[in-house]
Amino acid sequence: MPVIDLSKTDSVLNTFVAELRNVEIQQDPLRFRNNLVRIGEIMAYEISKSLSYSTKSVKTPLGNHDTNFIIDKLVIATILRAGLPLHQGFLNFFDRAENAFVSAYRKYTSKEQFDIHVEYISAPDLGGKTLILVDPMLATGASIELAYNALLAKGKPETIHFASIIASKNGVAYLEEKLDMDRIYVWCAAIDPDLNHKSYIVPGLGDAGDLAFGEKL
C-alpha cells in the first residue's frame, strides 16, 4: 500500500497546511474552510497524475489537437462533517466525478474511550470505479477503515485512494496492517508523529470539524 507524503516536496501546499495549524489564523472559520478547499484542489491535482488516460482529438477554431483525458470512473467520498470543504476542493478539479457521503463519528464510552459508529451512507455503485475517500484528519485510522468497509456494500472499487491533510504515524501503520490490498494508495499533506490520550494528532491542528463549522455539543 503506497503512502505518499506530499510534505516531502516543497510547494505552496505546505503553506496552506501551516495556516490550518496556526492558532491565530484558526480564529477565522472562512479562511480555515477556504484552505481546506485549496488543499483539496492541490491533492486532486497530485492524484490525477496516477490515474489512467486515453487520447481524444479536440477540434479548435484552426484545426485539431490530441489531448489525454482521464478515463477512470471517479467517485469522491467524504466522511461528514469536517470533510465537506476538502471534498469540494476535489470536486472543483474532478468536476465529473460521482459523489458519496458517510456519517461516521466517535461515540465516547468514557472521557478517553470511544467507538466509531457509521449512521448514514449515500453512494452510487462503486463496482469497478476509482474511489477517492477524503477525510482531513487520519488519527487512529479506525474511522476511515470503517467508512471504507461500509462503502464496500455499494460495490468493489477497482482502485482506492485515501486522502487526508494530516495523518498520524499510528494511523498510517494501522491502515497498512488492516487493509491488505494492492490497489490502495494513501495520500497525506503531512504525517505527524504522535497521538495524545484522546487520540488527537500531535502537533496536528485540533478538531477540523469544529474549526470549520463551529463547536458541537
107-123: per-residue pLDDT in tens? 555 655 555 567 788 99
Closest CA to 101 of 129, 85, 117, 81: 81
C-alpha span between 202 and 178 (Å, rounded)? 23
Work out the average pLDDT over 13-39. Answer: 97
Q: State residue 107's pLDDT score.
A: 59
The DSSP letter of residue 186 is E
pLDDT category of residue 106 using cuts at 50, 70 and 90? low
Q: State residue 116's pLDDT score.
A: 58
| Average pLDDT taken over every residue of the chain | 92
- The pTM score is 0.92
Q: Answer yes or no: are the C-beta atoms of 94 and 123 closer than 8 Å.
A: no
Closest CA to 189 of 137, 116, 142, 113: 137
Tally Cβ neighbours within 10 Å of residue 61: 4
Domains and CATH numbers, the chain: 3-54+69-213 (3.40.50.2020)
Q: Which amino acid is at 102?
A: V
| Predicted confidence (pLDDT) at residue 171 exceeds the cutoff of 80 | yes
| Predicted confidence (pLDDT) at residue 91 exceeds the cutoff of 90 | yes
pLDDT category of residue 211 using cuts at 50, 70 and 90? very high
Lowest-pLDDT range of 118-127, 130-139, 158-167, 187-196: 118-127
Peptide bond into 81 cis (omega under 30): yes
